[in-house]
């Protein structure tokens, strides 16, 4: 059985799936979205597959690119079984329902698996929801969506990075990185309480209107790369997590806390179901009054005894059992 992982072309994907991408297993391969194409199509591609444009309209002439998808020309062995694994972010801009259906008809030995990292209440998942019938198996990190749509629940996907190190430029007592979206009010209250009482905090907020931005030494209103986000987590005493509205599942921030052995303050009740949950290291809050700044400030030896539960290898193992 062969597994083709479609390259999502995002740095976050590269980090999450590095266990598979860098695997020595010859049955696991990363496949680019496109193969070589004429120059005029290559030049137009950034506009045609622009994420913002595709949120509003699916450009009809995208079909021109179908024959240049790598899967179209991939040399599938008729005597072998295949799983093509896609992330939902890829489907925001690529692959029509007609394309997937046609390929499945032409290649009956090829099955498609989808991994959902957005819940269906997120507008980024609207198009993907319509494509669910074309996939043979769908995983989701969101327990609520799994129950509503009959999907296979996964906790999260996280590969242990091997390029992180202790660095005083990233050292902090508490850190948060993320878009504010629909959690702005709660974020402001929680982060202000922590930042005003805990020294050396690093909070990076994206999407805050300039009129609402505050001048605080711990507040930064610009994004950081995912690598820098990992460096902040790796060099932190405590990771702060406030979920977006409607989100129900284990997030990457929780994975980072557990893998890096860091304290965690979160409003995600789901963490209590994890085998790693320890109230001495993880504080679950419902509102700003629940935030214990002394818990955040206290430095202690955190140990979750992580055993690889978040690795993407478990997705491959599950697909093997399905056949």
Instruction: Report the pLDDT value the prediction gives residue 270, as an integer from 0 to 100.
Output: 87
Lowest mean pLDDT among 51-55, 194-198, 251-255, 295-299: 51-55
Instruction: Report the pLDDT value the prediction gives residue 29, as an integer from 0 to 100.
Output: 95
Lowest mean pLDDT among 9-23, 65-79, 185-199: 9-23
Strand, helix or coil at 123?
A: helix
Q: Which residue has the higher pLDDT, 73 or 57?
A: 73
Confidence of residue 104 (pLDDT cuts 50, 70, 90): very high
CATH class of the domain whose range is 2-160+311-322: alpha beta
Confidence of residue 119 (pLDDT cuts 50, 70, 90): confident
Domain 172-297, CATH homologous superfamily name and number: Glycogen Phosphorylase B; (3.40.50.2000)
Tens of pLDDT, residue by residue over 201-255, are: 999 999 888 998 899 999 999 999 999 999 999 999 999 999 877 677 788 999 9
Residues contacting residue 251 through CB under 8 Å, at least 6 positions apart: 141, 156, 241, 243, 268
Q: Which residue has the higher pLDDT, 43 or 181?
A: 43
Measured CA to CA in angstroms, residue 126 lies from 54, 56, 60, 93, 132 at distances of: 11, 11, 18, 12, 11
d(CA 14, CA 158): 10
Cβ 112 vs Cβ 136: under 8 Å:
yes
- Is 74 a residue whose pLDDT tops 90? yes
Scored b (16 or more CB within 10 A) or e, 98-137 reads ebbeebbeeeeebbbbbbbbbbbbbebbebbeebeebbeb
Strand, helix or coil at 35?
A: coil
Highest average pLDDT, of 10-19, 23-32, 238-247, comes from 23-32
State the average pLDDT over residues 95-109: 96
- Is 53 a residue whose pLDDT tops 90? no
Tens of pLDDT, residue by residue over 135-190, are: 999 999 888 889 999 999 988 899 999 999 999 999 999 999 998 888 888 899 99
Instruction: Report the pLDDT value the prediction gives residue 60, as an integer from 0 to 100.
Output: 77
Instruction: Report the pLDDT value the prediction gives residue 254, as an integer from 0 to 100.
Output: 95
- Exposed / middle / buried, residue 65 (Cβ in 10 Å: 0-12, 13-18, 19+): buried
Cβ 144 vs Cβ 119: under 8 Å:
yes
Strand, helix or coil at 7?
A: coil
Fold match between 2-160+311-322 and 172-297?
A: yes
Tens of pLDDT, residue by residue over 244-294, are: 776 777 889 999 999 999 999 999 998 999 999 999 999 999 999 999 999
Q: Name the residue with tokens 């056949």.
A: 323
**Token reading at 130:** 């319509």
Domain map (residue ranges) of the chain = 2-160+311-322, 172-297
Instruction: Report the pLDDT value the prediction gives residue 182, as an integer from 0 to 100.
Output: 82
84 φ/ψ angles, rounded to the nearest 5 degrees: -100, 120
d(CA 11, CA 158): 13
DSSP secondary-structure letter at 70?
H
Measured CA to CA in angstroms, residue 5 lies from 95, 118, 201, 234, 268 at distances of: 15, 18, 38, 28, 30
28 φ/ψ angles, rounded to the nearest 5 degrees: -115, 125
């Amino acid at each position: 059985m062969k597994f083709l992982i479609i390259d999502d072309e995002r740095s976050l994907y590269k980090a999450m799936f590095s266990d598979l991408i860098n695997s020595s297993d010859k049955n696991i391969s990363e496949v680019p979205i496109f193969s070589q194409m004429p120059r005029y199509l290559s030049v137009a591609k950034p506009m045609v597959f622009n994420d913002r444009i595709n949120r509003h309209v699916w450009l009809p002439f995208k079909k021109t690119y179908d024959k240049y998808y790598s899967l179209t020309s991939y040399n599938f062995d008729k005597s072998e079984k295949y799983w093509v694994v896609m992330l939902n972010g890829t489907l925001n801009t690529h692959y029509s329902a007609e394309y997937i259906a046609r390929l499945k008809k032409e290649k009956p030995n090829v099955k498609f698996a989808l991994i959902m990292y957005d819940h269906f209440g997120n507008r980024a998942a609207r198009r993907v929801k319509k494509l669910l019938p074309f996939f043979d198996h769908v995983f989701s990190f969101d327990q609520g969506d799994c129950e509503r749509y009959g999907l296979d629940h996964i906790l999260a996907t996280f590969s242990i990075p091997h390029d992180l190190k202790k660095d005083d430029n990233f050292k902090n007592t508490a850190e948060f990185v993320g878009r504010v979206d629909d959690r702005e009010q709660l974020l402001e209250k929680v982060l202000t309480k922590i930042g005003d009482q805990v020294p050396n905090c690093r909070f990076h907020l994206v999407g805050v209107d300039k009129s609402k931005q505050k001048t605080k030494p711990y507040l930064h209103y610009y994004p950081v790369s995912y690598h820098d986000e990992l460096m902040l987590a790796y060099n932190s005493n405590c990771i702060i997590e406030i979920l977006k509205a409607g989100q129900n599942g284990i997030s990457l921030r929780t994975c980072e806390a557990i893998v890096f052995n860091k304290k965690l303050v979160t409003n995600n009740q789901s963490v209590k179901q994890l085998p790693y949950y320890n109230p001495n290291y993880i504080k679950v809050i419902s509102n700003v009054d629940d935030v214990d700044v002394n818990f955040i400030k206290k430095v202690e030896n955190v140990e979750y005894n992580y055993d690889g539960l978040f690795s993407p290898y478990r997705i491959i193992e599950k697909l093997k059992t399905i056949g």
